[in-house]
Structure 1
Amino acid sequence: MKRVYIAFIVILTLVLIFVVTSCVPQHPSLVSVRSIYDAKLKILNSAGPVSLDKVEGTIIYVSGSDAIIHDGQTGIYVYKAGFYSSDVGKKITLNNVIGTTYRDSVQIDFSKGGSKSFATETFTVEPTDLTIDIANNVSVPTRALWDFQYVKVYGILNGGKMTFTYEYDKTNKRKATINVVSLSSSFSLPYTYDTEATLTGYLQFSNGAWSLKVLSAEIGDSYPGVGVFVDEVVDGKTFKVNGQTYELIGIDDSVDSSTAKARLEEFINSQPEGIAQVLVKGEKDGKRYAFLFSKDGKTLYQEQALKDGVIVPNLAEEWEDITIYETLKNAYKSAYSSKKGVYSTFSGASVITVESSNTYVEGNYAIFSGTVSDVTKDEAGNININVSNWLKITISAGNFKYLFSSTFEQFKQSLEGKGINFYGKAKRNEGILEMPLYAEWEMFSFESGSGTPDDPYIITKPEHLISVRAFASANKYFKLGADIDLAGVDWTPIGTYSSNLSASAFVGTFDGNGHKIMNISFNDTTKSNAGLFGYLYNATVTNLIIENANITASSRAGALAGASQLSKVYRVKVVNSSVRVTYSGSGYGGGLIGEATDGTEIEECTVRNTIVSGVKYAIGGLLGRLKVNSGKPAVVVRNCYVEGGQVSSDYSSSTSSAGFICNFSAASGSAVIENNYVAASIINGKAFIAYKESGSADPVVTSSYYDTQVVGLGVSDSYATGKTTAEMKQQATFAGWDFTNVWTINEGNDYPRLKWEN
C-alpha cells in the first residue's frame, strides 16, 4: 500500500510540473553542449543557425583571423574570431556563439556574436588515424566526427593529380582515395610522380566532397645505403670512390653529357659533409652499379635529374631486387612523362628521309621520316621496325614495356604501312642506318597528311592528338577524321605561354570537322594555361565539339584553351564539362577560354550544361577575362551563348563570377560583344559581365540577353537585357539576330540554337 501511495505522489508531481510549464511562455535558449562533436551534431541536425553556450578546444590552425579548434576528439572551424598565428597551441573557451553551416561546411560564426577566453593550461592535440573510407561516407554522425578532424595517414601521393591513396582497412587491404590540398608554404603539392608519404592535417567536407588539408608531410622512404665520400665524377652517370667505379642504374647521360656531369657534381657537393648514400645493386665488368641518394636517403639523384631533363631513362636491364627496381622504374617513368609527345629540339632538328639519308652525320639528333615496311619481334621480345629499307629501329624488350602500354600486335598494326616520324640519333651499319631507341626519342604520327592546307594531318586516335604537341608552333594544319576519346590519357595541353608565344603556343589551324574530343582530363593546381590547348596564338580552331572535359588548374583554364591571342575560334561547342581554377585571386576560368586577349575572335560558340567555378575572382561562363592592350586589335565575341550548368565563385562577392564574361578590360571601341545570351545559374556574381577593371571603358554590349528566372536572384547587370524564360524562347525577343543563316529556334519551346549544331 505504501508503494502505491509513493507512486501516486510521483505521478501527481510530474503532472503538476507539466501543467505549470505548459502555461509558461517558452523562449529559445542556448543549447548546452559537452563537446565539439555534440555541437556539430546539433548544427548538422538543425535547419538553421544554432546558439551554443560553450565550446572548448585547442587551437591547431590559424588562417587570417579564422581558426580550427580541436578537443582531442574532433575539430570545428571558427570564422572571424580575431585569432593570430601565435595562438596556435592555446586552449580556448568560446561562449554564447552561433553554430552554422556555410555552404556545406560546419563552422562557428563569431561574426554573429560571442566571446572567447584563453585558459592558462595547455592541451596537446594528437592526430587521429584515418580508419574509414572518408570519401564515400557522408552521414551526419560521420561528418560530425571527421569534419575538421586532425589526422595522420600513410599512403601514396598520386603524382600530378592532387590525390592521396591510403589503406583504411589493413586486414582486408581496402583502400580509398581523397583529394589533398597543401596549407604549408614550405610543402608543395602535387609531386610529379607517385611517392609514399605520411600526411598530417585536417579533413574538410566542402562542395559535396571530402578533402585532406595538409599541414605537414613526410615524403618518401629512406633507403639504407652506405655513406661515402666521392673522389671523382667521371661523367653524368659514373663516379669513383676509393678507386672503385660506380655507374648509376637506369639512366643515359648522352642526351646532355656536359650538363649531366655538372649536375651530378653539384648534387654530390651539396650533401652535408660531402657524404652521399650509395645503394649497390650489382657488379660486372669491373663496375659496381648503384642508385645514388642524398645523405638523408629521401632524394634520389636519378629522379631529380630526369625531372630536370639532363638525363633520360635507360631501363633495358633488370636487377636482382625486383621490388625496388619496379618502384624506381615507375618513378623514372613518371618523372620523365612530362615530355611525352613533345621534344624541345623537334623544331630545330633536321628531317632525314630516304633521299637525304646519305647526308646524315652519324651521332646527330634528327627526325627520321619514312614509311614502316614491317614490324617484327624476336624470341627475346625485342622489336625491330624496318623503315623504307634504309632505317632499322630496334626497341629492347625492356624499353618496349616501359614506353608502350599496347600489345605487340596492336603496336605492329598501328605502324605497318604508315608514315612515321622518329626522333633520335642513328649509326651506319653496312649502308643501313640503325637506331636503338631508349626514352630520349619520341614517336609521333598521324593517320595521313603532310600538315599543309590542302593535305592536313589527319587525327583519328589519341596518339595522333598527342602528336600535335610536337608541331604546336610549326604553323601546321590538323583535321579530325573521327571522334577522339581521351579517357585514361594523362593529358598535357597543346602549346603553352612563354615570352615568345610564336615558339611555345599553338600556332596553326585545327579543324574539328564536326567531330568530338571527349573526356579530356587535366588536374594540376600548380599549373596555369590549361585546356585542350594551353595557349592559342595566331591560331584557328573550328568545327569542334568538346564533351565531358574536366579541367582543374591554378589559373587561366578553359575547356578549349587557357588563353588566346590573335586567334580565331569559330563554331566550337563545350558540353557536359567542368572547369575550375584554384588561384586565390583573379583565376581567369572560363567555360570556353580562360583569358581572351588582343585580336581574339570568337563566333558561333557555345557552352552548355557545364560547371565553371573558382576560388575567388574572374570566373566566366564563356570567358574568365576579356582584355585588349592599348593599340592592339579588338576582341570580338559574337553569336555565342551559355546555357545550363552553373557559374560560381567560392568567394562571396557580386563581381567574382559572371554568366558570360567576368572581367572586362578594354578601351572604348576595342571590344565587340553582340548577339549573345546566358541562361545558366550564377552564384556570387552577375548575369552577363561582372567587373570592369580599372582604366577600362564601359563594356558596350549589343543585342544580348539573359534569362532572369535561371540566372538567380540578385545577379542582374546593366550590360545585357534581362528576359523571362518564356520571352527567351520567342524569336521576337532577339532583335536584329540572323535566324536565316546563323540561328534557329523552336518557337515557344526552346532557347535559340546555332544552326551548325543541328
Structure 2
Amino acid sequence: MKNLKLQLCLLAGFCTSTLSAQFSAGDGTADAPFQIQNKEQLAEVANYLSSHFILMNDIDLTNETWNQIGSFDQPFCGVFDGNGHKILGASINSSASLWSGFFGYLNQGTIKNLHLENLSLKGNAIVGGLVGQIDNGGVVKNCIVEGSVTSFDNIAGGIVGCIYNGGGSIINCIADVTVTTGPASLTAGAIIGQCDDNGIIQNCLVKGAVNVGGRGAGAIGYFGCDEVLAPQNTVTGVVITEMKVTRLASWAGAEHFGRIIGTRNGSTGTIANNYVLTDHFDFIDVTPEQVTEEKQGGEKSEIELKQQTTYETLGYAFGNNEFYPWIIKENQEFPTLWYTQNTSTAIPTTEKRTDIRIYPNPASNLLQITGKIDQAELYTISGNLIGSHSQPVIDISDLPSGIYFIKITSGKNTHSYRFVKL
C-alpha cells in the first residue's frame, strides 16, 4: 500500500488526490507511471487525477456499471497510456453530469494508445465516447473507440464530445461507433460533436452511424471558425470508410449536414485532405444543402484507400510505435493502429515457466532476465527478428518506443514474453 499525496493541479477545476491506492508498481511519475492490471486499480485512477498511468492488461468490464473518470470540478490532467490494451464492455450512464465520457473531462492531460471496445455510454449533455470535453490543450492520440454513444439533450461525439476553452487535439484515432442524440439536441459527429477554440482533428479513420436531431456529419457535427476564438481550428486527414447519417427532426435545416462537417461557423481554420470511400456514405431523411468540398470531403476508391501511399500523402506515419502508429495490409484492408496486430502466429510461443522472468516491464534502458537462458531473441510486434542475445541483461536503449516480444530459449524449451519499451 503506497500512501501518496499528489499536487493540486489547478486548471478548469482541481486535479486532487489525497487518498491511498494500491497499484501494481510505479509512483505515478512520468518515469515510473502507476501500473494498472485490474479493474480495481483502474477505478483508482479517479483518485489520482494528475498522475501518470500505464495499462498492463486488457480489462473486461462487461456486466459492470462503471463510473466515469474526471469531471468539470475535478478534471483528469495526468497521462493515461493504454499501452495498446483494451478496456472491454464498459457501460456508463452518467445522466447526473453535464460532461460524460469514459473520461468525463480532460484538462491539459493526455490519453493515448487505448482501445475501448463494446462501449455503451449515455449522458444528458456533452457526451463523448472517450472524453466528454477537452480543454486547455488536452490530447487524445492513438486511440480506438468502438461502441455506442448517446446524448439525450445536447452534443455527442464518438471519441470526444466537445473541444473548447483553450483547444485540444484528436490525432491518429479510429472511431467505429453509433452516435445518437435526442430529436431536440444540437449536434453530433462520429469523431467529435463540436470543435471550437483551436481544436485539431488529424489523421483519423471513421465508420459507423450518426443519428441527430440538429447538426450532424460523419466526422464533426459543428466546426467553429471564429477568427478571434478559433483561428487555428484544423481538420485534416480524416477518412470515412462507411457511414450513415440520419436526421431525426424536421426542424434541423439541411444546410447543417455534411459528410465531414455538419455546420461550419466562420471562415478561418483549415479543412483539407479529407476523404470518403466512394458509394459508402448515406443520408437518411435529409439531402445536404450548401454543399462544399470542405464540408463534404473528396472521394477515394476502395483500391486507393487500401494502399499505404494514399495515407502517407495525408501525413499518416507507418511503423511500430506511438510515434509511427499506423500499419496496413497492403491492398487487403484499411489501415489500423499498430497495437491491434494479431501476433499469435508472428512469434513462436510455448508455455511460460515460473523460473523465467523479465523485468522491468515497461523498460527504458536495460531488460533483465532471471533463470537459465541459452538464447534470447527480440522481435517487433509484427514478428520481425531484430536481435539475438546470450546474456541475461539486454541493452534496449536504442530501440524506438513501442511493444516488442522476447523469445527465450532454455534447454529444449522456448518461452515468449511481451514487453514495452518506453
Question: Normalised by the shorter chain, which TM-score bucket?
Answer: 0.5 to 0.7
Q: 1:671 aligns with which of 228, 233, 242?
A: 233
CA distance in 1, matches of 2:51, 2:314: 38
Amino acid at match of 1:624: G
* Map of 1:753 onto structure 2: 336
Q: Given the alignment of the two structures, is residue 538 of structure 1 paired with residue 108 of structure 2, yes or no?
A: yes
Q: Structure 1 residues 699 and 687 mapped into 2: Cα distance closer, same or farther (>3 Å)?
A: farther
What's the secondary structure of 1:465's corresponding residue?
helix
* Map of 1:626 onto structure 2: 195
CA distance in 2, matches of 1:739, 1:482: 26
What's the secondary structure of 1:709's corresponding residue?
coil
Deviation at 1:445, TM superposition (A): 2.4
CA distance in 2, matches of 1:730, 1:570: 22
* Map of 1:483 onto structure 2: 58
CA distance in 2, matches of 1:687, 1:717: 10
Deviation at 1:606, TM superposition (A): 0.8
- Structure 2 unmatched ranges of 5 or more: 9-16, 248-256, 342-422
Whose helix proportion is higher, 1 or 2?
1
Deviation at 1:581, TM superposition (A): 0.4
Higher RCO structure, 1 or 2 (CA under 8 Å, sep 6+)? 2
Moved more, 619-628 or 454-463: 454-463
Kindly name which structure, 1 or 2, has the bigger radius of gyration based on alpha carbons. Answer: 1
* Map of 1:527 onto structure 2: 97
For residues 402-421 of structure 1, the aligned pairs below 5 Å read: 421=20
What's the secondary structure of 2:125's corresponding residue?
strand
Deviation at 1:744, TM superposition (A): 4.2
Deviation at 1:706, TM superposition (A): 1.2
Q: 2:84 aligns with which of 514, 527, 531?
A: 514
Q: Structure 1 residues 740 and 445 mapped into 2: Cα distance closer, same or farther (>3 Å)?
A: closer
What's the secondary structure of 1:612's corresponding residue?
strand
Q: 1:728 aligns with which of 283, 305, 310?
A: 305
CA distance in 2, matches of 1:737, 1:755: 16
Q: TM-score, normalised by structure 1?
A: 0.37
Q: Given the alignment of the two structures, is residue 468 of structure 1 paired with residue 45 of structure 2, yes or no?
A: yes
Amino acid at match of 1:491: W
For residues 697-708 of structure 1, the aligned pairs below 5 Å read: 697-708=267-278
What's the secondary structure of 2:40's corresponding residue?
helix
CA distance in 1, matches of 2:171, 2:55: 20
Amino acid at match of 2:262: A
What's the secondary structure of 2:25's corresponding residue?
coil
CA distance in 1, matches of 2:203, 2:103: 22
Q: Structure 1 residues 445 and 717 mapped into 2: Cα distance closer, same or farther (>3 Å)?
A: farther
What's the secondary structure of 2:41's corresponding residue?
helix
CA distance in 2, matches of 1:467, 1:692: 40
Q: Structure 1 residues 749 and 347 mapped into 2: Cα distance closer, same or farther (>3 Å)?
A: closer
What's the secondary structure of 1:464's corresponding residue?
helix
Contact 1:692 1:699 in 2 (8 A): no
CA distance in 2, matches of 1:706, 1:670: 24
* Map of 2:374 onto structure 1: none
Contact 2:159 2:192 in 1 (8 A): yes
* Map of 1:448 onto structure 2: 25
Deviation at 1:488, TM superposition (A): 3.5
Deviation at 1:724, TM superposition (A): 4.3
Q: Given the alignment of the two structures, is residue 647 of structure 1 paired with residue 207 of structure 2, yes or no?
A: no
- Structure 1 unmatched ranges of 5 or more: 1-344, 349-365, 369-420, 422-443, 499-503, 629-633
CA distance in 2, matches of 1:740, 1:517: 24
Contact 2:67 2:94 in 1 (8 A): no
Deviation at 1:482, TM superposition (A): 1.0
Seq. identity, %: 27
For residues 207-286 of structure 1, the aligned pairs below 5 Å read: none
Q: TM-score, normalised by structure 2?
A: 0.65
Amino acid at match of 1:568: V
Q: 2:178 aligns with which of 592, 608, 611?
A: 611
Q: What do the CA deviations read for 1:255-300 (whole angstroms, capped 9, x no partner)?
A: xxxxxxxxxxxxxxxxxxxxxxxxxxxxxxxxxxxxxxxxxxxxxx
Contact 2:188 2:217 in 1 (8 A): yes
Q: How many pairs does the alignment contain? A: 299
Deviation at 1:485, TM superposition (A): 1.6
What's the secondary structure of 1:514's corresponding residue?
coil
Deviation at 1:745, TM superposition (A): 4.0
Q: Structure 1 residues 754 and 460 mapped into 2: Cα distance closer, same or farther (>3 Å)?
A: closer
What's the secondary structure of 1:525's corresponding residue?
coil
Moved more, 618-627 or 463-472: 463-472
Q: Structure 1 residues 525 and 738 mapped into 2: Cα distance closer, same or farther (>3 Å)?
A: closer
Q: Given the alignment of the two structures, is residue 580 of structure 1 paired with residue 142 of structure 2, yes or no?
A: no
CA distance in 2, matches of 1:494, 1:699: 31
Deviation at 1:599, TM superposition (A): 3.0
Amino acid at match of 2:104: G
CA distance in 2, matches of 1:558, 1:547: 14
CA distance in 2, matches of 1:580, 1:490: 16
Contact 2:105 2:131 in 1 (8 A): yes
What's the secondary structure of 1:548's corresponding residue?
strand
Q: Structure 1 residues 367 and 545 mapped into 2: Cα distance closer, same or farther (>3 Å)?
A: closer
* Map of 2:167 onto structure 1: 599
Amino acid at match of 2:275: Y
CA distance in 2, matches of 1:733, 1:542: 24
Amino acid at match of 1:723: K
What's the secondary structure of 1:549's corresponding residue?
strand
- RMSD in angstroms over aligned alpha carbons? 2.6
Q: What do the CA deviations read for 1:88-125 (whole angstroms, capped 9, x no partner)?
A: xxxxxxxxxxxxxxxxxxxxxxxxxxxxxxxxxxxxxx
Deviation at 1:756, TM superposition (A): 5.0
Q: Structure 1 residues 489 and 445 mapped into 2: Cα distance closer, same or farther (>3 Å)?
A: farther
Q: Given the alignment of the two structures, is residue 635 of structure 1 paired with residue 199 of structure 2, yes or no?
A: yes
Deviation at 1:667, TM superposition (A): 3.2
Contact 1:533 1:560 in 2 (8 A): yes
* Map of 2:370 onto structure 1: none
Contact 2:167 2:196 in 1 (8 A): no
Contact 1:489 1:521 in 2 (8 A): yes
